[in-house]
């Protein structure tokens, strides 16, 4: 997310940033920077409500692990609400649960004068 903001700042262009829901929380405050600097960064967040890759890596290291017993790797309840958080930092937010909506929101967002947050709900295999 910070790199996308840096690129947008340097090139004075819209930038699309793909990010996972869990990873986004590590630099979520960067949305505020893109708001303050009026940078058209479009964050497309894949929301599987899990730190999925960490589960996969753990299983690669030890295939005997029971995926139902991972601790602290899921946030299946409705919080955190990343759209609300993004709006709190100044972004406009959308949820795109179809390809058509995603296309539409990206098109609208390319004319933006600030950050846009698009949540794309996805499935979690584990
Ligand atoms: C700044 C930082 N903190 C922590 C990590 C460790 N880390 C690697 S992947 C990951 C979770 C990724 O989850 P998510 O972004 O939801 O992606 P998913 O695998 O679910 O698609 C974390 C916390 C990291 N890479 N960088
Ligand atoms: Mg995730």
Q: What is the CB < 6 Å shell around ligand 1?
A: 20-23, 26, 46, 48, 50-54
What's the gap in Å between 20 CA and the centre of ligand 1?
7
Rounded Cα–Cα distance for residues 33 and 86 (Å):
12
- Index of the ligand 1 atom closest to the CA of residue 19: 15
Residues in the chain: 126
Single pTM value for the model: 0.93
What's the gap in Å between 47 CA and the centre of ligand 2?
6
3-state secondary structure of 64: coil
Question: In this model, does residue 78 exceed pLDDT 90?
Answer: no
Domains of the chain: 2-121 (3.40.50.970)
Per-residue model confidence (pLDDT) at position 67? 86
Per-residue model confidence (pLDDT) at position 13? 93
Per-residue pLDDT tens for 101-110?
999 999 999 9
Backbone φ, ψ for residue 6 (5° rounding) = -60, -40
Mean pLDDT taken over the chain:
95
Per-residue pLDDT tens for 46-60?
999 999 999 999 999
Task: Assign 15 a pLDDT band (cuts: 50, 70, 90).
Answer: very high
């Amino acid at each position: 997310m910070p790199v996308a903001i840096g690129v947008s700042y340097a090139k004075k262009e819209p930038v699309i940033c793909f990010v996972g829901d869990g990873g986004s929380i590590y630099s979520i405050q960067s949305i505020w920077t893109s708001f303050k600097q009026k940078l058209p960064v479009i964050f497309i967040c894949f929301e599987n409500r899990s730190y999925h890759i960490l589960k996969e890596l753990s299983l690669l290291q030890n295939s005997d692990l029971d995926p139902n017993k991972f601790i602290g790797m899921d946030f299946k309840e409705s919080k955190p609400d990343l759209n609300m958080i993004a709006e709190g930092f100044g972004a406009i937010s959308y949820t795109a649960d179809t390809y058509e909506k995603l296309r539409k929101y990206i098109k609208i967002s390319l004319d933006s004068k600030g950050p846009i947050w698009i949540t794309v709900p996805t499935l979690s295999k584990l």
